[in-house]
Structure 1
């Protein structure tokens, strides 16, 4: 296990951004203090050849100017809040409308666009990096000062673990996640349509035209959203189902099968038949947002020099449900003084 640090770039205001490289087992991860962004994750294929399996951009300037959340820590609220507003304890809070009429991923300057303090932490049999920041009261319209701590851990032989912790001094809402775009064939390798995906969820949330949940969870059985058994992602991607049409593909929250409160359990399994790489996602969260890279349009070029087109990467974002602050029937995302937000997700790589 090891951790090394190097200079990555400098923001316009003169802030230096560092890159940390974590190594443990067969994994090697690069992340930067801007947004906690995971810029690379190197994983071997069945021949033992390493490749970066996350999409990214060539420079800090690119991440600042044009990143579609590649690899970033997302908050205060991952996913969408309808109408860019919510009511908490009788008080209304207005948020930035940065996705049509809705607020997406924390607003115009969410946690993925903030600088985090990074501290390597000694740990037995792990490479461990703690990212921390204070989110002040009123940031992007959200109430309460948050104290945040996110820990990246690489554990041999092939686990990437993200632990989230937060406290607040005022009632607020919170939904943290990581927005990695994965392609197990390798960054720049082309479409993920031939990847096979299993999601342990018997229901999903149908959405309106703006991708806000429009009703209660619906059963996946008999729909293109049934991934209860491994299925090629492209098998039903172009079906004329109204929810697929609204999202230009998959961009939906899956309601994970019930598990004991606070227990981490298997949420999804992804595999690439050609490289043999596989990835399991385990989480304590109740939902999983599966996004099939629908809005990649060829205008972004990755570090390999390849242009990213629709479907060249996918996201499996562990989280609470979209628009929960406006949906009392959904699991609550409220956080109050004296409480501690705790969540954990593991990305477990392997071979098939």
Structure 2
């Protein structure tokens, strides 16, 4: 196991974690962005299974948030405001009248302090950032650590630790787009996904949660027993239509199974297992990904990747009964998501 470090053409640093099986994960200090995840297919061929730009500079102004750490709050905050203890906080408006993925100075756009480390059974990176009180409109000076770990069992682990000196809102996630075909051979239509969830959150025309939970039964959102993503990558069902013919919805985990999500791709034989202590996730199927962006293995197009954004729900700031993202002053925020790669 080893770690390589290189300077990019624009003076960022890129770190590559490698395990004894040849799996590799490459990460930028800018945005904590995961640029590559190299894993074997059933023939032993090592290929990239995440979307990344061919030109590193393209990450600087990236409306797709490829591979980035998202914060302070991942997802959309309705009308760019929320209340804590009867006090209103106004955060950046960066998607119409709403707030998206941390606003104008989100965590995807900062240079993180990175400390590589190595242990007997893993290699990793500890990323640290301090967000000052009032940044983007959020209360509290927030100290954040995000730790990336790669094990010899082909597990990629993301750990989030944070603490604020004031009560605040916090929902961290990673925004990697996965495509298990390898090197973008095909779209995600034939990825079979299993999700431990009975309910998803309804969205309105602005993609804001309405406050209503929808039962997944007998809909294209029923993933408990596994289904191909192609079933919902169209506009035949109203809830798929509203997000542009696909998925961009929050699934509430049942938390009955240790494994929250399983993804399988038959041609490559790859599987990805996701376990987490997060209460749910947004699954986004790149419905709005524009054509023609220069990626490492070719050009972008719709449905080329799928995000599994494990997190709390910003809907909880305006609606009761949703997984909360309120962090008390001096309370430790501690979350973990594990991606395990295997061959079927």
* CA positional deviation for 1:142: 0.6
Select 2:337's aligned residue among 341, 345, 351. Answer: 345
Select 1:257's aligned residue among 254, 258, 261. Answer: 254
In structure 2, distance between residues paired with 1:313 and 1:2: 28
1:80-107 alpha-carbon deviations (Å, 9 max, x no partner): 1111110111111111121222111101
What is the aligned residue count? Answer: 342
* CA positional deviation for 1:239: 4.6
Select 1:232's aligned residue among 228, 234, 247. Answer: 228
In structure 1, distance between residues paired with 2:97 and 2:52: 28
Secondary structure of the corresponding residue to residue 144 of structure 2: strand
Using structure 1 for the length normalisation, give the TM-score: 0.94
Residue 18 of structure 1 pairs with residue 13 of structure 2: yes
* CA positional deviation for 1:216: 2.7
Residues 188 and 302, structure 1, Cα contact 8 Å, conserved in 2: no
Change (3 A) 1:212 1:67: closer
Deviates more, 1:18-27 or 1:319-328: 319-328
1:263-317 alpha-carbon deviations (Å, 9 max, x no partner): x93111001110101101110000111111101120312012x111110111011
Structure 2 equivalent of residue 127 of structure 1: 123
In structure 1, distance between residues paired with 2:139 and 2:39: 40
Residue 76 of structure 1 pairs with residue 69 of structure 2: no
RMSD: 1.3
Structure 1 equivalent of residue 192 of structure 2: 196
Select 1:92's aligned residue among 70, 88, 94. Answer: 88
**Mapping of residues 96-115 of structure 1, within 5 Å:** 96-115=92-111
In structure 2, distance between residues paired with 1:48 and 1:130: 30
Q: 5+ residue gaps in structure 1? A: 11-15
1:34-60 alpha-carbon deviations (Å, 9 max, x no partner): 000000000000000000100011223
Misfit runs of 4+, over 6 Å: none
Residue 323 of structure 1 pairs with residue 315 of structure 2: yes
* CA positional deviation for 1:66: 3.1
Structure 2 equivalent of residue 13 of structure 1: none
Residue 30 of structure 1 pairs with residue 26 of structure 2: yes
Structure 2 equivalent of residue 333 of structure 1: 325
Using structure 2 for the length normalisation, give the TM-score: 0.96
Secondary structure of the corresponding residue to residue 343 of structure 1: strand
Secondary structure of the corresponding residue to residue 83 of structure 1: helix
Q: 5+ residue gaps in structure 2? A: none
In structure 2, distance between residues paired with 1:330 and 1:344: 19
Residues 4 and 15, structure 2, Cα contact 8 Å, conserved in 1: yes
Residues 253 and 322, structure 1, Cα contact 8 Å, conserved in 2: no
* CA positional deviation for 1:165: 0.1
1:305-341 alpha-carbon deviations (Å, 9 max, x no partner): x111110111011011132222232222111222100
Structure 2 equivalent of residue 297 of structure 1: 290
In structure 1, distance between residues paired with 2:288 and 2:324: 29
In structure 2, distance between residues paired with 1:145 and 1:115: 17
In structure 1, distance between residues paired with 2:59 and 2:267: 30
